[in-house]
């Protein structure tokens, strides 16, 4: 899986891809975010591009997308939100990217 750090400068370009892209909104201090980090980069997750937004450093993006819990994932295609889901387990993550 390709991981890209996102901020206000590159977020729009990333989500406006013609293919599905996944964006994780997270914080460094969140225990669930740390758990999610252990499985989002596994080899079997190569099918989708993943961007990560640290909401402590990019609060404006979190507000714009109504992120009130972390880790929240948004699935985009051509700038449109296809799905929004709070994910705290590997099973939930696999379901999100394979549904």
Compute how many other C-beta atoms are within 10 angstroms of the C-beta atom of residue 63.
11
In the chain, what are the domain boundaries?
2-98
Catalytic, 99? Answer no
pLDDT tens-digit readout, 28-38: 999 999 999 98
From the list 15, 21, 30, 67, the catalytic residue is 30
CATH 2.170.190.11 fits 2-98, yes or no: no
> pTM of this prediction?
0.92
Residues 40-66, mean pLDDT to the nearest whole number: 87
> Taking Cα atoms as reference points, which of 36, 38, 12 lies closest to residue 24?
36
Residues 70-76, mean pLDDT to the nearest whole number: 97
pLDDT tens-digit readout, 55-71: 999 999 999 999 999 99
From the list 33, 61, 62, 97, the catalytic residue is 33
What is the C-alpha separation between 68 and 97, in angstroms, rounded? 21
Catalytic, 8? Answer no
User: What stretches of the chain show up as alpha helix (H) in DSSP?
Assistant: 11-15, 31-40, 59-64, 90-98
């Amino acid at each position: 899986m390709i991981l890209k750090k996102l901020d206000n400068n590159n977020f729009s370009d990333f989500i406006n891809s013609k293919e599905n892209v996944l964006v994780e909104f997270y914080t460094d201090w969140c225990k669930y975010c740390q758990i999610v980090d252990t499985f989002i980069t596994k080899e079997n997750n190569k099918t989708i591009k993943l961007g990560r937004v640290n909401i402590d450093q990019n609060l404006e993006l979190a507000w714009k997308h109504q992120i009130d819990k972390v880790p929240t994932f948004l699935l985009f295609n051509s700038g449109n939100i296809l799905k929004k889901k709070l994910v705290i387990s590997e099973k939930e993550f696999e379901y999100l990217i394979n549904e």
